[in-house]
Structure 1
């Protein structure tokens, strides 16, 4: 990573930062979400992954989208992402919902193409059918 490039935050760090920006004590957010204070602390320190229910509840109480939190932390790590997906996620000219829609379409196209590659072509058909 380039020294001039800011370090990206993990999901836990993003949650902690948003909680602090909202000026919510950890105990208060944990109570609002319906989880224990130690569990929230573990989430913020990246020792535990929140369930979908907990993640959505945290996001709701911080007035954020759970998808935005996950996307931002995924973008931070960029693990296993194609160059196209990275470009979509980093495009400043798209809104979050547009990014999500474009990424979803791109992934659907990729899945179809990958599935087609795995199927034998009709020219490989032992019956000799060449029609498409």
Structure 2
């Protein structure tokens, strides 16, 4: 997938959600210049992908897949969740959120 494909994906999801470019910027907590990735100028980092996913109500692993990036922790779990044909979109989102929460909790525990 090219950067242009990812840009089109973000734009399509944003438009289907009836969210303006500025509203997405505000709700994702990402500056307008950084969001120019929607227009193919820049590929977002993992942190921005997570913020965009949350703002657009899209499963984070789907954002990684569409951006053609591997999740930062290198785990196959997010990919497995995103590509499982037996799960609904809501189930995928819930599992992804739970998985990310567990990973964050483990990181905090390791930092102590």
TM-score range, shorter chain: 0.5 to 0.7
Compare the two structures and name the one with the higher helix fraction: 2
- CA shift for structure 1 position 54: 0.8
1:47 to 16, 19, 41: 41
TM-score by length of 2: 0.54
Q: What's 1:102 paired with?
A: none
- CA shift for structure 1 position 69: 2.5
- Larger Cα-atom Rg: 1
Unpaired runs of 5+ in structure 2? 69-79, 93-112
* Native 8 Å contact 2:24 2:55 kept in 1: yes
TM-score by length of 1: 0.46
* Native 8 Å contact 1:27 1:37 kept in 2: yes
CA offset digits 1:41-85 (Å, max 9, x no partner): x211121111111110101111111211332454xxxxxxxxxxx
| Counterparts in 2 of 1:23 and 1:48: CA distance versus 1, 3 Å | same
- Counterpart CA distance in 2 for 1:14 and 1:93 is 20
How big is the alpha-carbon RMSD for the aligned residues of Structure 1 and Structure 2?
Answer: 2.6
Aligned residues: 72
- Counterpart CA distance in 2 for 1:93 and 1:38 is 34
Work out whether 1:67 is the aligned partner of 2:61.
yes
